[in-house]
Amino acid sequence: MKRATRGAGTVAAYDWDYAGEMQMMRHFWNAAGALDPTAVELDEGRRFPTCHPDPLADLFRGAGQREVETRAIEVPTVFKDFEDYWSPFLVGLGATVG
């Protein structure tokens, strides 16, 4: 991204907060780990360190970016019922399958 950005251009990225405020996933991984201790190894909050602001900023600084800033973008997620919450996990994509 740095190589393709001119002068004072802006480089931006986002990463899900698997470790904390992405609560639907946090509840899933907490329950999975409580039911099966081997699931803890799959927990995205543990596996993806850039889901925390400091490691994400360090990644950009390590690539030579200057004036690195991180901030939260909060998107409320409301489910009409358990089925609405659970059905995306059944699609067979991502680390929640296995």
pLDDT of res. 53: 87
Q: What global pTM score does this model have?
A: 0.65
Q: How many domains does the chain have?
A: 1
In a domain, 2, yes or no: no
Residue 17, domain member (yes or no): no
Residue 12 lies in a domain: no
CB 19 within 8 A of CB 45: yes
Q: Write down the pLDDT at residue 80.
A: 94
In a domain, 6, yes or no: no
Position 52 scores a pLDDT of 84
Q: Are 43 and 29 in contact (CB under 8 A)?
A: yes
Q: Enter the tokens of residue 75.
A: 């998107």
Q: How far is CA 92 from CA 65, 72, 89, 95, in A?
A: 36, 28, 7, 9
Domain that holds residue 73: 23-91
In the chain (98 residues long), the average pLDDT of successive 10-residue segments reads: 81 79 81 93 84 89 89 85 86 62
- At residue 95, the pLDDT reads 58
In a domain, 5, yes or no: no
